[in-house]
Structure 1
Amino acid sequence: MSFGLLAALAAALLTGSATVLQAVGARRAAAGRRPGGAAALAGAFRQWPFLAGVGMDMLGFGAELLALDRLPLYEVEAVLASALAVTAVGASRVLNVRLRRGEWAGVAAVCVGLCVLAVSAGRDGPGHGTPALRLGVLLVAVLLIGAGWVVVRFGGSRRAPLLGLVAGLQFGVIGVAVRVLPDAGLPGLLTEPAAYAVAFAGLGGFAALTWAMQNGSVTAATAAMVLGETLGPAVVGVLLLGDHTRHDFEPLAVAGFAAAVFGALTLARFGDAERPATAGAAP
């Protein structure tokens, strides 16, 4: 197994384990506060489970950067989708959530899909991103921040999945921005749009995901986040950056990618850190 794949799996393990901790802290902070408000977001930083989850996410991001330096973009994003499998197993242990056969099948689908992707993946394409693309990722990050604000104000009952989608798209922007970031020293990075895209997308995605966990179903938010974070960068990598699979392995790569994402979405409800309802509780 390559070092890049190990780094991607480590990132999935860290981020998947952080999901439950962050959800617990975010829900505690939101109690008695206006949904989507700045006070609820700031209050999350006073909850130790949330802070522990943030620390694990930062370590996971570092592992993701190592993986992006060695693997095709679509493969890294597909591996990161397996964080939901990690969350599923963690929830069954920590939150006493019983996994049914369908959920275990989802875990198996993710693992098999990742193995297929590891076998079929080729090298990164020759594309390193044009100046227009590097400016474009910054503009997308800024627009998504505005979209998140609109959802908080007017999202209604669909606020959680929409915020989850915004967060996933922002995290996908980070993956693309890191991939196209030119090798330049500190003075050059100060004028590099892709570097600012990483910062804006990181802050915007973090805020959107925290608000999503506070404002509704963490399950729906997690599923939408996986879609945005996985599919967006994969499309950009293949269409604009020249990522490819091994010769004649395209159908196998498509099947593995589909299996990994489908299995992850099957497990999306285990992003929820709520306690199971007690027996006999009122509906």
Structure 2
Amino acid sequence: MTGGWGFLAAMVVAYGVANLLQSIAAANTDLHQGFSPRLLWRLGQHKAYLFGIGFQFAAFALAFLARRDLPLFLVQSAVAAGLGVTAVLGVLVLKWKLPTTEILLLALLCFGLAGLIISAEPMPSRPMGSLGVALLALALLVIALGGFFAVRMHGAPGSVVLGSLAGLAFGAAAVASRPLASVHHLDGFFLADPLLYLLVGHSVVGQLLLGLAMQRGSTTAAVAAMDAAAAVPAAVIGLLFLGDSIHPGREWVAALGFVGTLASVIGLSYYAEPQHHHEISQPAHPPLREHVPAR
């Protein structure tokens, strides 16, 4: 059995803890109205966010190592399993109240991920050509531009849209890291590889968008939207262009697992109840009060 499976399991736990800690910091930071890196500076003044970033970096590293052997459709879908860890910790630590619908969707997420694990076949990545690198650079500009406009949205829609953009950024980072992870030596060629800098760029933009998304409603909705947007494009690109593989005869298991995982995270982004909210100052039109369930 490849060591990628151990990295995958540790990654799920690290992402779950990172989501929870960053959510705590986002809930205790004044609502940020603009698409600006200053939000990261303000969030960084909270110890919870700094610890969350530490777990996030650990999860990034573990995901990077897992992608050395495991296909993108599995690793990116497994990132969504961190949402289940976040939900359990939120209930135990922060006394979140999860509706029955969310609990059922989290169970579906687990079954979907199990199907992907059964069907995935470990395989090294193919190299990425110059066209792929150019498209990843273009995607970085488009996602950042989308975030510049989406930051004007508030409440649950803003949380879902910004979370989805964060997912596209993290998915692009995953695509860049799959062939990069096949390089086993940190030599000058590795440091000069444009994929390394695209990986960093997409990760920073994704982190900023995720922070903005978490400020606007439900942590569950923001992370679920992020996971859904990160999983689909990365899975398709991995299977078509990077050599990702499925065990022969288990294609139907992979299809059911992926559909189940995707359906669960989309459902969570739609049905999730807000765990916190920020009231938006609008002098001319006072904001309507948003119902927040008791914690």
Q: With the length of structure 1 as denominator, give the TM-score of the two structures.
A: 0.86
Q: CA deviation digits over 1:165-190, x for unaligned, max 9? A: 11101110111001122737543245
> Relative to structure 1, is the Cα distance of residues 128 and 12 closer, same or farther in structure 2, using a 3 angstrom cutoff?
same
Distance in 2 separating the partners of 1:256 and 1:250: 10
Mapping of residues 5-24 of structure 1, within 5 Å: 5-24=5-24
- Rounded Cα–Cα distance in structure 1 between residues aligned with 2:276 and 2:216: 13
**Residue identity in the other structure for 1:7:** F
Query: Does 2:70 align with 1:71?
Result: yes
Divergent runs of 4+, >6 A? none
Aligned residues of 1:121 and 1:245 also touching (Cα < 8 A): yes
Find the aligned partners of 2:7 and 2:276 in 1 and give their Cα distance.
30
Structure 2 counterpart SS, 1:263: helix
Q: Return the offset for 1:274.
A: 2.5
- What does residue 244 of structure 1 align with? 245
Corresponding residue for 1:229? Answer: 230
Once residues 266 and 95 of structure 2 are traced to their aligned partners in structure 1, the CA distance between those partners, rounded to angstroms, is 21
* TM-aligned CA distance change 1:107 to 1:27, over 3 Å: closer
Give runs of aligned pairs for residues 58-207 of structure 1, distance below 5 A.
58-124=57-123, 127-152=126-151, 154-155=152-153, 158-181=157-180, 183=183, 185-207=186-208
Q: Which runs of 5+ in 2 are unaligned?
A: 278-291
**What code does the residue aligned with 2:203 have?**
G
Q: Alignment identity in percent?
A: 28
Structure 1's 111 and 161: CA in aligned 2 closer, same or farther, altered over 3 A?
closer
Residue in 1 that maps onto 2:260: 259
- Retained in 2: the 8 A contact 1:219–1:270? yes
Deviation at 1:58, TM superposition (A): 0.8
CA contact (8 A) 1:85 1:264 kept: no
- The 2-side partners of 1:99 and 1:278 are apart by 11
AA of the residue aligned to 1:141? L
Q: Deviations over 1:160-211 (max 9, x none)?
A: 2221111101110111001122737543245422111111101111111111
Question: Partners in 1 of 2:37 and 2:72 — Cα distance?
Answer: 34
Provide the C-alpha distance between the structure 1 equivalents of 2:217 and 2:115, rounded to a whole number of angstroms: 35
Deviations 1:15-54 (A, max 9, x none): 11221211111222225x6465554432110011111111
Residue 210 of structure 2 aligns with which residue? 209
Task: Specify the code of the residue in structure 1 equivalent to 2:233.
Answer: G
Q: Which runs of 5+ in 1 are unaligned?
A: none
Cα distance in 2, alignment partners of residues 241 and 70 from structure 1? 12
Aligned pair count? 277
Is 1:135–1:193's contact at 8 Å kept on the other side of the alignment? no
RMSD over aligned Cα atoms: 2.6
1:40-77, CA deviations, whole angstroms, 9 ceiling, x for partnerless residues? 43211001111111111111111111110121111111
Find the residue that maps to 2:249 and give its secondary structure: coil
Aligned letter for 2:147? G
CA 1:188–1:271: 2 relative to 1, 3 Å: farther
Answer yes or no: is 1:46 the counterpart of 2:83.
no
